[in-house]
Amino acid sequence: MSRQRRLLAREAAHLAPGASEEAALGQRVFVAGSGSTLTDADGNRYLDFAAGTLTQSIGHCHPEVVTALADQAGRLWNVHDSATADRAALCELLATLLPAELDTYAFFTTGAEVVEAALRVVAAVAAPGRNRVGALRHGFHGKTLGARMLVHWDIGHQSFAGNSILGYSPYCYRCPLGLRYPSCETRCADLVVRHIADKPQVSALIFEPVLGAAGVIVPPPGYWDKIARACRDSGVLLVADEVATGGGRTGAFLACSWLGIEPDLVLLAKGLASGFPFAVLAGRSQVLRGPEGAAAGSTASTFGGNPLGIAAALATLTVIDRDGLIARVPGLAAAMRAGLDDLHERHPMIGEVRGAGLLFGLEIVHDRDSRQPAPELAGQVYRAGLDLGLRTAMGGHILRLAPPFTTTADELDEGLRLLDRALSLVEAGGR
């Protein structure tokens, strides 16, 4: 029996069910990561085109992050939310990376935690009677109760709709209105705008600018212009959940900047600290420093902004900034797009390829006419990819690809070649 099998069998006796589809299907035990490559317990190597879980923007175990964490680990781990030597430096660096108006920050640990923090701010600053929040269909914001209130699709448990109001996301491939872009003139956005106008109780719209978990749903031109203008006109705060997209994934530090949205609050996590749990709430000072939003203790938590997280984030963002890594994203993305378009031409099970910078979603379908989702085929491609040495991300019928920004041209070609083989194997019924 392989070492991986033995390890999996040992933990299976005790481990609660509820793993991600990726972990459950993959059945891998990883022991090491370096750059774009992972190694499992049997010595097999993988190109990691999931970048951890969108966390490894500068690859696995970047030497400067390892050194920063090791140094910090020998010095100081937790002093609640007291100031530490690096915190000021991180604030200053964030101020250079984010749009000038987003100049105030609070530090947390996970995506869901920072979503909850944003909800607390929204509740605190909302005018009397504005006691509801808007969210988008197909959005994903985490699994804590406040975040679940914004998620209206089944994420493995019952959805829990709570006190939020939903608008249409720009899911053109499966348009709920049965329309086609551009002749639709982004009617989905018009309906969100109408919602905002009709519902004066709405205090904020909490949204993913590009909807990641639902399959990299990329808004067409015009969608956000209309909605952002309506929010501004109605005094509805724009709260951008950039947990997945923030930190350069789309080719700009924020997907909002890439799309021309000027948010009031932004939530960042995955790509900030090379996989160390770390999240940032960034906002306009008039929102975060106002008397309502700044209650004592409102930004403190046991692990929020701990010195190790700050060290990992400071080192990661320093590397991204100094090495101009975000500037690499458009070139890599164009090469990847060309390769994926070629796969789309040759593999009918790929219904559509969507991309925003180095974040791609592939619709896996039974046939292109019906567009019927094919989650079992997606699972087979995912598994075949792993067996060949390519790690992707998947959920339902969507395959996602998001390699590190440091991926080389050769690694990109190799990953696409492995994906091609995985698709061919599944088509041939070999999986």
Ligand X SMILES: Cc1ncc(COP(=O)(O)O)c(C=O)c1O
Nearest by Cα to 205 from 236, 171, 226, 244: 236
Q: Which one, 56 or 110, has the nearer CB to ligand X? A: 110
Nearest by Cα to 350 from 424, 429, 428, 245: 424
Name the residue whose CB lies closest to ligand X.
111
Peptide bond into 182 cis (omega under 30): yes
Give the shortest CB-111-to-ligand X separation in angstroms. 2
Q: Which one, 8 or 155, has the nearer CB to ligand X? A: 155
Give the shortest CB-270-to-ligand X separation in angstroms. 7
Give the shortest CB-12-to-ligand X separation in angstroms. 23
Q: Which one, 358 or 422, has the nearer CB to ligand X? A: 358
Beta bridge partners of 63: none
- 36, 48 Cβ separation under 8 angstroms: yes
Q: Which one, 56 or 380, has the nearer CB to ligand X? A: 56
Q: Which one, 228 or 279, has the nearer CB to ligand X? A: 279
Q: Which one, 22 or 241, has the nearer CB to ligand X? A: 241
Nearest by Cα to 130 from 283, 289, 288, 236: 236
Give the shortest CB-309-to-ligand X separation in angstroms. 13
Map tokens 């075949």 to a residue: 384
Cα–Cα separations (whole angstroms), residue 86 to 58, 221, 275:
20, 40, 18
Give the shortest CB-417-to-ligand X separation in angstroms. 28
Contacts to ligand X by CB under 6 A = 110-112, 115, 140-142, 208, 212-213, 241, 243-244, 269
Map tokens 């692990």 to a residue: 303
Cα–Cα separations (whole angstroms), residue 107 to 76, 307, 321, 387:
17, 11, 20, 39
Give the shortest CB-70-to-ligand X separation in angstroms. 24
